[in-house]
Amino acid sequence: MPPQLAAERALGLLDAILANLSSTASSQQAANLKARSQLAQPNGSKKKGSEGLDQAIPNKQPEKSAGKKKNPTSPAAPAAIKATAALAGNAPVDISRVMIKVGTIKEVGKHPDADALYVEKIDLGEDGGPRTVVSGLVKHYPLEEMQNRRVLVVCNLKPAKMRGVESQGMVLCATGEDGKVEFVEPPEGVPNGERVLFPGYTDVAGIAVPESPFMHPKKKMWEAVQVDLAVSGGVATYKGVPFGTTGGACRPRNVPSGEIR
């Protein structure tokens, strides 16, 4: 074979090999592009034949947090808590919400900054010792008659400062039609710290216990109750029910009828 013809055939064979290699590379490149396009498609628009790719490269969803906090105010809250809240919210505002205790004045003196006020230390049988109570009784009782007097004290009023001295309660007094003011006193022998009870109000199941530690001033509970306190027939009453103790009813000494405050 002439040398020129052999050279031409070799060149043609080389061109064919190069063309074949080019075709193979293009096919592989096209396949790669197709795979990439299928991966980029949304889950809802997969083309037929893409299931194999989905299995090989699964589309994972973000895992939900296992430590998700529960809403404490959700409907699943314990029924007991709901019932307690409902009872507190619906309980009547009456004498059952007030804590009145028997006490004895152990110390008394004039208020350092107010001529009309006494500052008393009253034994109410409490572990913390006597309470300090400020009372506007200078015009009604001389100092010597205040010492060791047996009294009734409203114990769950919010403490309040009176001319710089904190008062931790209020002594109950009766005011007669003639303006005479006297302590409402417990019977002899009733111990300090005994709670004054009101049959029909403080002994009925479901009625709220006294507000603790004190009646909230904004709710005006004491004001709502106080208007129904009165002396009737010489006995201290709430809506006609006597102030009761283990020794009997409480009463002022010389006021047959009038207000209590």
pLDDT at 74 (0 to 100):
40
Question: Alpha helix (H) ranges present in the chain?
Answer: 3-40, 51-56, 79-90, 143-146, 221-226
Domain ranges in the chain are 1-35, 95-260
- Mean pLDDT, consecutive 10-residue stretches, the chain (261 aa), reads 52 55 52 50 45 44 48 43 46 89 98 97 97 97 97 96 96 96 98 95 72 86 96 98 97 97 93
What global pTM score does this model have? Answer: 0.66
pLDDT at 44 (0 to 100):
44
Q: Are 180 and 255 in contact (CB under 8 A)?
A: yes
Look up the CATH number of domain 95-260.
Answer: 2.40.50.140
pLDDT at 258 (0 to 100):
97
The C-alpha angle with vertex 244 and arms to 241 and 246, in degrees rounded to 5, equals: 155
Burial of 10 (0-12, 13-18, 19+ CB in 10 A): exposed
pLDDT at 83 (0 to 100):
42
pLDDT at 211 (0 to 100):
81
